[in-house]
Structure 1
């Protein structure tokens, strides 16, 4: 399969600059990468992107970081970095390949639970479901998607329902809100 990290780094750091990305994703060791984000929704988006690939173990650490942040992610320090290391290790034995560890343990558990549910939805999604979900995420209407895919609007709706698109979207919002609340506490 080769080294997938360079392509992953390119994707995660792609321009235009990812919202909330304080320090670029960098390889830390082997096939592990790490980045520093300040935006909860952007963080959840990255996690979903990694879960979709079905090859990565995703660890999210949240909490204080030592300031000022160094230029390199690898040189960062503080509780968030320690929690991230623990989360990656835990993700390797997690049933859904994602783990969350933070200074607020209750919030971390809540975010992790929601991400497990989202991962479960994503894992069951078919190629047809992904096609509809991707276009819905781009903001296209069901009518526009139907024209683009050569199917009826009702078929678009059926595929979106089967793909769990609404559930995924609500899960993303809930996970981001819980993460924000956990960071604030």
Structure 2
């Protein structure tokens, strides 16, 4: 099981963005237990799909507003309907991860009972740093490519040359970053699959 805890950065000097993010994530991703505010400027949700969890985390990373902790492990069964009432090692790992994320590269951390969590964390921290440093033009070009357009089609949509699109993608290391994210997601899914629910 995968528990994601997200904490707003610099919340004392910024508006409260928790409720809008809760709404956005719950309507954009398939959740095992929906994201909800757990305390103050923090939200938490439960997922079973490792690849989706990683993609969600990278979308949140890109905003530059949040610290993200991913916990992987068992949970106590039956899983309560309210995320904040959940118990088990995955929830404990997510708490540890989000605290470490506040001072970690890319503002993301992964915790679990296996050494594999450390490797996944290293991959996601590297990817997160690259995602956070992308320029808006590079992001616009990359999103069109990810949507299935060719570079020529993306260039026409953006009103620039194909060479400009290629340069933006290369400068952002778009393809290598996507590969790191994909493999980290596959690894997280594999690790999560080894954990069952726990009896209370």
Q: Deviations over 1:69-105 (max 9, x none)?
A: 111111111110011111111111213211100121x
Equivalenced residue count is 181
Per the alignment, residue 95 of structure 2 pairs with 85
Cα distance in 1, alignment partners of residues 40 and 143 from structure 2: 31
- 2:101–2:107 CA contact under 8 A, matched in 1: yes
For 1:1-185, list aligned pairs within 5 A: 1-15=14-28, 18-19=29-30, 21-104=31-114, 106-185=115-194
The Cα RMSD (Å) is 1.3
- 1:50–1:56 CA contact under 8 A, matched in 2: yes
Cα distance in 2, alignment partners of residues 88 and 120 from structure 1: 16
Q: Deviations over 1:12-56 (max 9, x none)?
A: 1115xx23x101100101111100000011100111011101110
Q: Give the TM-score taking structure 1 as reference length.
A: 0.93
- 1:26–1:34 CA contact under 8 A, matched in 2: yes
Per the alignment, residue 7 of structure 2 pairs with none
Structure scoring higher RCO (CA < 8 A, sep ≥ 6) equals 2
Per the alignment, residue 10 of structure 2 pairs with none
Cα distance in 2, alignment partners of residues 2 and 117 from structure 1: 28
After the TM superposition, which segments of 4 or more aligned residues of structure 1 sit over 3 Å from their partners?
none
Cα distance in 1, alignment partners of residues 190 and 26 from structure 2: 26
Q: Give the TM-score taking structure 2 as reference length.
A: 0.86
Runs of at least 5 residues in structure 1 that lack an aligned partner in the other structure = none
- 2:55–2:185 CA contact under 8 A, matched in 1: no
- 2:69–2:98 CA contact under 8 A, matched in 1: yes
Cα distance in 2, alignment partners of residues 23 and 144 from structure 1: 39
- 1:118–1:167 CA contact under 8 A, matched in 2: no
Q: Secondary structure at the match of 1:13?
A: helix
| Bigger mean CA offset, 54-63 vs 158-167 | 158-167
- 1:110–1:178 CA contact under 8 A, matched in 2: no
